[in-house]
Chains A and B, each alone.
Chain A
Amino acid sequence: MAAKVLTVTSGKGGVGKTTTTANIAVALAALSYKVVCIDADIGLRNLDVVLGLENRIVYDVVDVVEGRCRLRQAMIRDKRLPELYLIPAAQTRDKNAISPSDMVRLCDELRNEVDWILIDSPAGIERGFRNALAPADMVLVVTNPEVSAVRDADRIIGLIEAEEKGPARLILNRVNMNLVKRGDMLNAEDVLELLAVELIGIVPEDEAVVVSTNRGQPVALDGKSKAGLAFQNIARRLNGEQVPFLSLDEKDGFFARLSRMFRSGGA
Protein backbone atom coordinates (compact mmCIF):
# COMPACT_ATOMS: atom_id res chain seq x y z
CA MET A 1 0.00 0.00 0.00
CA ALA A 2 1.21 3.45 -0.83
CA ALA A 3 -1.17 6.08 0.42
CA LYS A 4 -2.07 9.20 -1.44
CA VAL A 5 -1.98 12.34 0.70
CA LEU A 6 -4.86 14.67 -0.05
CA THR A 7 -4.93 18.15 1.50
CA VAL A 8 -8.23 20.05 1.65
CA THR A 9 -7.81 23.81 1.86
CA SER A 10 -9.55 27.05 0.85
CA GLY A 11 -7.93 30.28 1.97
CA LYS A 12 -11.21 31.69 3.24
CA GLY A 13 -12.78 30.23 6.36
CA GLY A 14 -16.31 28.91 6.55
CA VAL A 15 -16.63 27.58 3.01
CA GLY A 16 -16.96 23.96 4.14
CA LYS A 17 -13.42 22.54 4.31
CA THR A 18 -14.06 20.38 7.35
CA THR A 19 -17.41 19.13 6.10
CA THR A 20 -15.78 18.31 2.77
CA THR A 21 -12.86 16.49 4.40
CA ALA A 22 -15.18 14.45 6.63
CA ASN A 23 -17.49 13.49 3.80
CA ILE A 24 -14.80 12.56 1.30
CA ALA A 25 -13.12 10.48 4.01
CA VAL A 26 -16.40 8.71 4.74
CA ALA A 27 -17.13 8.19 1.04
CA LEU A 28 -13.65 6.76 0.37
CA ALA A 29 -13.94 4.46 3.40
CA ALA A 30 -17.35 3.30 2.13
CA LEU A 31 -15.61 2.29 -1.11
CA SER A 32 -13.54 -0.08 1.11
CA TYR A 33 -10.38 2.01 1.20
CA LYS A 34 -8.38 2.39 4.36
CA VAL A 35 -8.55 6.09 5.22
CA VAL A 36 -6.93 8.30 7.87
CA CYS A 37 -7.93 11.92 8.24
CA ILE A 38 -5.76 14.39 10.11
CA ASP A 39 -7.11 17.63 11.55
CA ALA A 40 -4.35 20.19 10.97
CA ASP A 41 -6.38 23.05 12.43
CA ILE A 42 -4.55 23.11 15.75
CA GLY A 43 -6.26 25.28 18.35
CA LEU A 44 -9.57 25.29 16.44
CA ARG A 45 -10.28 21.61 15.95
CA ASN A 46 -13.59 20.60 14.42
CA LEU A 47 -13.13 17.53 12.27
CA ASP A 48 -13.83 15.46 15.41
CA VAL A 49 -17.31 16.96 15.95
CA VAL A 50 -18.24 16.87 12.28
CA LEU A 51 -17.36 13.17 12.22
CA GLY A 52 -19.11 12.63 15.56
CA LEU A 53 -15.96 11.29 17.24
CA GLU A 54 -15.40 14.08 19.78
CA ASN A 55 -16.02 11.90 22.84
CA ARG A 56 -13.35 9.39 21.96
CA ILE A 57 -10.28 11.63 21.86
CA VAL A 58 -7.41 10.60 24.13
CA TYR A 59 -4.31 11.72 22.22
CA ASP A 60 -3.91 14.23 19.40
CA VAL A 61 -1.51 15.07 16.59
CA VAL A 62 0.71 17.22 18.81
CA ASP A 63 1.03 14.32 21.29
CA VAL A 64 2.30 12.19 18.41
CA VAL A 65 4.76 14.81 17.17
CA GLU A 66 6.08 15.47 20.67
CA GLY A 67 6.45 11.78 21.43
CA ARG A 68 3.86 11.41 24.21
CA CYS A 69 2.14 8.57 22.38
CA ARG A 70 2.60 6.29 19.43
CA LEU A 71 0.88 7.12 16.15
CA ARG A 72 -1.50 4.18 16.54
CA GLN A 73 -2.72 5.44 19.90
CA ALA A 74 -3.82 8.77 18.41
CA MET A 75 -5.81 7.14 15.62
CA ILE A 76 -9.50 7.02 16.57
CA ARG A 77 -11.35 4.36 14.63
CA ASP A 78 -14.78 5.27 13.26
CA LYS A 79 -16.87 2.18 14.03
CA ARG A 80 -19.49 2.93 11.37
CA LEU A 81 -17.05 2.04 8.60
CA PRO A 82 -14.53 -0.76 8.20
CA GLU A 83 -11.35 1.34 8.03
CA LEU A 84 -11.74 5.02 8.81
CA TYR A 85 -9.52 6.75 11.36
CA LEU A 86 -9.18 10.28 12.73
CA ILE A 87 -6.07 11.90 14.14
CA PRO A 88 -7.50 14.94 15.94
CA ALA A 89 -5.87 18.35 16.33
CA ALA A 90 -4.77 19.62 19.73
CA GLN A 91 -7.20 22.18 21.06
CA THR A 92 -5.04 24.02 23.60
CA ARG A 93 -1.99 24.64 21.42
CA ASP A 94 -1.36 26.76 18.32
CA LYS A 95 -0.17 26.23 14.76
CA ASN A 96 3.48 26.56 15.79
CA ALA A 97 3.26 23.37 17.87
CA ILE A 98 4.06 21.43 14.69
CA SER A 99 6.14 22.15 11.61
CA PRO A 100 5.78 21.26 7.92
CA SER A 101 8.52 18.65 8.29
CA ASP A 102 6.68 17.08 11.28
CA MET A 103 3.67 16.66 8.99
CA VAL A 104 5.81 15.12 6.25
CA ARG A 105 7.31 12.62 8.76
CA LEU A 106 3.88 11.78 10.17
CA CYS A 107 2.44 11.09 6.73
CA ASP A 108 5.48 9.07 5.70
CA GLU A 109 4.92 6.85 8.72
CA LEU A 110 1.30 6.32 7.63
CA ARG A 111 1.93 5.89 3.92
CA ASN A 112 2.52 2.16 4.02
CA GLU A 113 -0.42 1.50 6.34
CA VAL A 114 -3.34 3.07 4.49
CA ASP A 115 -4.76 3.98 1.06
CA TRP A 116 -5.72 7.62 1.65
CA ILE A 117 -4.50 10.29 4.06
CA LEU A 118 -6.78 13.34 4.15
CA ILE A 119 -5.57 16.54 5.78
CA ASP A 120 -8.04 19.20 6.86
CA SER A 121 -6.19 22.49 6.51
CA PRO A 122 -6.96 25.55 8.59
CA ALA A 123 -8.12 28.74 6.84
CA GLY A 124 -5.49 31.33 6.02
CA ILE A 125 -2.16 31.29 4.24
CA GLU A 126 0.15 31.07 7.25
CA ARG A 127 1.87 28.33 9.23
CA GLY A 128 -1.18 26.08 9.57
CA PHE A 129 -1.72 26.07 5.82
CA ARG A 130 1.99 25.39 5.24
CA ASN A 131 1.80 22.43 7.65
CA ALA A 132 -1.16 20.99 5.78
CA LEU A 133 0.38 21.58 2.35
CA ALA A 134 3.85 20.14 3.00
CA PRO A 135 3.03 16.40 2.73
CA ALA A 136 0.33 16.75 0.01
CA ASP A 137 0.37 14.66 -3.16
CA MET A 138 -2.83 16.33 -4.31
CA VAL A 139 -4.60 19.48 -3.14
CA LEU A 140 -8.34 20.10 -3.16
CA VAL A 141 -9.44 23.72 -2.94
CA VAL A 142 -12.94 24.27 -1.58
CA THR A 143 -14.78 27.43 -2.52
CA ASN A 144 -18.31 28.85 -2.64
CA PRO A 145 -19.84 30.67 -5.61
CA GLU A 146 -19.38 34.14 -4.16
CA VAL A 147 -16.84 36.88 -4.65
CA SER A 148 -14.79 36.68 -1.46
CA ALA A 149 -14.48 32.88 -1.50
CA VAL A 150 -13.49 32.82 -5.18
CA ARG A 151 -10.94 35.56 -4.68
CA ASP A 152 -9.33 33.73 -1.76
CA ALA A 153 -9.40 30.47 -3.72
CA ASP A 154 -7.44 32.18 -6.48
CA ARG A 155 -4.84 33.34 -3.99
CA ILE A 156 -4.47 29.90 -2.43
CA ILE A 157 -4.25 28.22 -5.86
CA GLY A 158 -1.39 30.58 -6.70
CA LEU A 159 0.42 29.60 -3.48
CA ILE A 160 -0.14 25.89 -4.16
CA GLU A 161 1.42 26.29 -7.61
CA ALA A 162 4.32 28.28 -6.21
CA GLU A 163 5.02 25.37 -3.84
CA GLU A 164 4.87 22.98 -6.83
CA LYS A 165 1.93 21.14 -5.31
CA GLY A 166 -0.34 21.87 -8.26
CA PRO A 167 -2.45 21.50 -10.21
CA ALA A 168 -5.06 22.11 -7.51
CA ARG A 169 -8.52 20.60 -8.02
CA LEU A 170 -11.59 22.65 -7.23
CA ILE A 171 -14.67 21.76 -5.22
CA LEU A 172 -17.48 24.25 -5.67
CA ASN A 173 -19.50 23.92 -2.48
CA ARG A 174 -22.96 25.22 -1.51
CA VAL A 175 -24.27 25.89 -4.99
CA ASN A 176 -27.88 27.06 -4.88
CA MET A 177 -29.37 26.02 -8.23
CA ASN A 178 -32.36 28.33 -7.85
CA LEU A 179 -30.10 31.35 -7.47
CA VAL A 180 -27.94 30.16 -10.37
CA LYS A 181 -30.99 29.81 -12.64
CA ARG A 182 -32.14 33.28 -11.65
CA GLY A 183 -28.73 34.69 -12.56
CA ASP A 184 -28.00 35.66 -8.97
CA MET A 185 -25.22 33.17 -8.26
CA LEU A 186 -22.00 32.40 -10.10
CA ASN A 187 -22.29 29.04 -11.82
CA ALA A 188 -19.57 26.41 -12.12
CA GLU A 189 -18.56 27.59 -15.60
CA ASP A 190 -18.07 31.16 -14.37
CA VAL A 191 -15.91 30.04 -11.46
CA LEU A 192 -13.83 27.70 -13.62
CA GLU A 193 -13.26 30.42 -16.18
CA LEU A 194 -12.10 32.82 -13.47
CA LEU A 195 -9.85 30.38 -11.62
CA ALA A 196 -8.63 28.36 -14.64
CA VAL A 197 -8.36 25.18 -12.60
CA GLU A 198 -9.61 21.61 -12.86
CA LEU A 199 -13.01 20.83 -11.30
CA ILE A 200 -13.48 17.71 -9.18
CA GLY A 201 -16.84 18.35 -7.54
CA ILE A 202 -19.94 20.49 -7.39
CA VAL A 203 -21.83 20.21 -4.11
CA PRO A 204 -25.32 21.69 -3.95
CA GLU A 205 -26.48 23.66 -0.93
CA ASP A 206 -28.42 21.12 1.08
CA GLU A 207 -30.22 21.29 4.45
CA ALA A 208 -29.23 17.68 4.99
CA VAL A 209 -25.66 18.89 5.66
CA VAL A 210 -26.83 21.03 8.59
CA VAL A 211 -28.92 18.20 10.03
CA SER A 212 -26.19 15.60 9.62
CA THR A 213 -23.57 17.88 11.16
CA ASN A 214 -25.89 18.43 14.14
CA ARG A 215 -25.95 14.69 14.64
CA GLY A 216 -22.28 14.04 13.89
CA GLN A 217 -23.19 11.77 10.98
CA PRO A 218 -21.68 13.00 7.70
CA VAL A 219 -24.19 13.12 4.80
CA ALA A 220 -22.02 10.84 2.69
CA LEU A 221 -22.79 7.97 5.11
CA ASP A 222 -25.99 7.46 3.20
CA GLY A 223 -26.20 8.76 -0.31
CA LYS A 224 -29.83 9.81 -0.25
CA SER A 225 -29.23 13.55 -0.01
CA LYS A 226 -27.96 15.55 -2.97
CA ALA A 227 -24.90 16.74 -1.08
CA GLY A 228 -24.13 13.21 0.11
CA LEU A 229 -24.26 11.96 -3.46
CA ALA A 230 -22.02 14.81 -4.62
CA PHE A 231 -19.37 13.83 -2.03
CA GLN A 232 -19.61 10.19 -3.06
CA ASN A 233 -19.07 11.26 -6.66
CA ILE A 234 -15.94 13.18 -5.65
CA ALA A 235 -14.58 10.05 -3.97
CA ARG A 236 -15.19 8.07 -7.16
CA ARG A 237 -13.48 10.72 -9.30
CA LEU A 238 -10.49 10.62 -6.95
CA ASN A 239 -10.21 6.96 -7.86
CA GLY A 240 -10.11 7.77 -11.55
CA GLU A 241 -13.74 7.03 -12.35
CA GLN A 242 -15.49 9.26 -14.89
CA VAL A 243 -18.59 10.55 -13.13
CA PRO A 244 -20.62 13.29 -14.83
CA PHE A 245 -21.10 16.58 -12.99
CA LEU A 246 -24.75 16.95 -12.07
CA SER A 247 -25.33 20.65 -12.47
CA LEU A 248 -22.96 21.11 -15.39
CA ASP A 249 -24.98 18.57 -17.33
CA GLU A 250 -28.32 20.22 -16.95
CA LYS A 251 -26.73 23.47 -17.95
CA ASP A 252 -27.16 24.87 -20.67
CA GLY A 253 -27.56 24.07 -24.30
CA PHE A 254 -29.73 26.41 -26.29
CA PHE A 255 -32.57 23.91 -26.32
CA ALA A 256 -32.36 23.23 -22.61
CA ARG A 257 -32.55 26.96 -21.99
CA LEU A 258 -35.43 27.33 -24.41
CA SER A 259 -37.45 24.53 -22.87
CA ARG A 260 -36.84 25.88 -19.38
CA MET A 261 -37.93 29.29 -20.57
CA PHE A 262 -41.20 27.89 -21.86
CA ARG A 263 -41.72 25.90 -18.70
CA SER A 264 -41.21 28.92 -16.47
CA GLY A 265 -43.25 31.06 -18.84
CA GLY A 266 -46.16 28.65 -18.81
CA ALA A 267 -46.17 28.11 -15.05
Chain B
Amino acid sequence: MAGWLEQLLGKKDKSAEQAKERLKLVLIHDRTDLTPHQLEVMKNELLEVISRHVAIDPSAVKIDMAQDGREQRLIADIPLKPANARRR
Protein backbone atom coordinates (compact mmCIF):
# COMPACT_ATOMS: atom_id res chain seq x y z
CA MET B 1 0.00 0.00 0.00
CA ALA B 2 2.78 2.40 0.88
CA GLY B 3 4.45 1.65 -2.48
CA TRP B 4 1.17 2.54 -4.15
CA LEU B 5 0.94 5.94 -2.55
CA GLU B 6 4.59 6.74 -3.12
CA GLN B 7 4.24 5.92 -6.80
CA LEU B 8 1.21 8.19 -7.05
CA LEU B 9 2.86 11.03 -5.17
CA GLY B 10 5.95 10.98 -7.35
CA LYS B 11 9.54 10.12 -6.59
CA LYS B 12 11.03 13.38 -5.38
CA ASP B 13 11.87 12.09 -1.93
CA LYS B 14 13.43 8.84 -3.18
CA SER B 15 17.12 8.35 -2.55
CA ALA B 16 17.85 7.73 -6.25
CA GLU B 17 16.35 11.13 -7.05
CA GLN B 18 18.54 12.73 -4.41
CA ALA B 19 21.60 10.96 -5.81
CA LYS B 20 20.80 12.30 -9.27
CA GLU B 21 20.30 15.89 -8.10
CA ARG B 22 23.49 15.84 -6.03
CA LEU B 23 25.46 14.35 -8.91
CA LYS B 24 24.19 17.00 -11.30
CA LEU B 25 25.70 19.74 -9.15
CA VAL B 26 28.91 17.86 -8.41
CA LEU B 27 29.51 17.13 -12.10
CA ILE B 28 29.04 20.78 -13.07
CA HIS B 29 31.76 21.79 -10.66
CA ASP B 30 34.03 18.87 -11.57
CA ARG B 31 33.76 19.63 -15.28
CA THR B 32 34.31 23.36 -15.01
CA ASP B 33 36.78 23.29 -12.14
CA LEU B 34 34.70 26.05 -10.50
CA THR B 35 33.61 25.87 -6.88
CA PRO B 36 30.20 27.28 -5.92
CA HIS B 37 32.09 30.10 -4.20
CA GLN B 38 34.11 30.97 -7.31
CA LEU B 39 30.91 30.93 -9.36
CA GLU B 40 29.36 33.39 -6.92
CA VAL B 41 32.42 35.69 -7.10
CA MET B 42 32.34 35.54 -10.89
CA LYS B 43 28.63 36.43 -10.96
CA ASN B 44 29.21 39.47 -8.79
CA GLU B 45 32.11 40.66 -10.92
CA LEU B 46 30.05 40.21 -14.09
CA LEU B 47 27.21 42.25 -12.62
CA GLU B 48 29.61 44.95 -11.55
CA VAL B 49 31.05 45.29 -15.06
CA ILE B 50 27.65 45.29 -16.73
CA SER B 51 26.12 47.81 -14.36
CA ARG B 52 29.00 50.17 -15.13
CA HIS B 53 27.45 50.50 -18.61
CA VAL B 54 23.73 49.86 -18.23
CA ALA B 55 21.27 49.90 -15.35
CA ILE B 56 20.25 46.42 -14.22
CA ASP B 57 18.19 45.01 -11.43
CA PRO B 58 20.55 42.65 -9.57
CA SER B 59 17.68 40.75 -7.96
CA ALA B 60 16.26 39.78 -11.37
CA VAL B 61 19.56 38.45 -12.73
CA LYS B 62 19.92 34.73 -13.33
CA ILE B 63 23.35 33.26 -14.02
CA ASP B 64 23.55 29.49 -14.07
CA MET B 65 25.48 26.55 -15.40
CA ALA B 66 23.60 24.32 -17.81
CA GLN B 67 24.55 20.96 -19.25
CA ASP B 68 24.42 20.46 -23.00
CA GLY B 69 25.55 16.93 -23.76
CA ARG B 70 29.03 16.76 -22.27
CA GLU B 71 29.49 20.52 -22.56
CA GLN B 72 28.82 23.02 -19.85
CA ARG B 73 27.36 26.40 -20.63
CA LEU B 74 27.21 29.54 -18.55
CA ILE B 75 23.78 31.02 -19.15
CA ALA B 76 23.13 34.58 -18.09
CA ASP B 77 19.71 36.18 -18.14
CA ILE B 78 20.14 39.85 -17.27
CA PRO B 79 17.06 42.06 -17.65
CA LEU B 80 17.96 45.71 -18.36
CA LYS B 81 16.09 48.56 -16.72
CA PRO B 82 14.29 50.82 -19.19
CA ALA B 83 16.11 54.05 -20.11
CA ASN B 84 13.53 56.36 -18.49
CA ALA B 85 13.94 54.57 -15.18
CA ARG B 86 17.63 55.36 -15.35
CA ARG B 87 17.08 59.12 -15.73
CA ARG B 88 15.11 59.46 -12.56
Contact = CB atoms under 8 A, between A and B. Distances in A.
A2 interface: no
12 contacts: A146-B19, A147-B23, A150-B23, A151-B27, A157-B70, A183-B16, A184-B14, A186-B16, A194-B20, A194-B24, A261-B7, A265-B4
A158 interface: yes
B36 to A, nearest CB: 16
A46 interface: no
Contacts of A265: 1, 3-4
B22 interface: yes
Given A183-B11, A183-B14, A264 B3 contact: yes
Contacts of A211: none
A264 B27 contact: no
Nearest to A194: B23
Contact of B7 (A146, A196, A257): A257
B4 A185 contact: no
Given A183-B14, A184-B14, A196-B69, A147 B19 contact: yes
A264 B8 CA distance: 13
B66 interface: no
Interface of B: 1, 3-4, 6-8, 11, 14-17, 19-20, 22-24, 26-27, 30-31, 67, 69-70
Contact of A190 (B20, B27, B67, B69): B20
A206 to B, nearest CB: 20
A161 interface: yes
B30 A154 contact: yes
Interface in A148-192: 150-151, 154-155, 157-158, 161, 179-180, 182-187, 190
Interface residues of A, number: 27
Given A151-B30, A184-B14, 6 more contacts: A154-B31, A184-B15, A194-B20, A196-B69, A257-B7, A261-B4
A100 to B, nearest CB: 24
A187 B16 contact: yes
Interface in A104-134: none
A184 B8 CA distance: 16
A197 interface: yes
Given A154-B27, A158-B31, A264-B3, A147 B16 contact: no
A146 B22 CA distance: 11
A234 B88 CA distance: 68
A180 B4 contact: no
A116 to B, nearest CB: 27
A49 B21 CA distance: 38
A183 B15 CA distance: 7
Interface in A188-204: 190, 193-197
A179 to B, nearest CB: 8
Contact of A183 (B4, B17, B27): B17
A146 B26 CA distance: 13
A223 to B, nearest CB: 29
A11 to B, nearest CB: 11
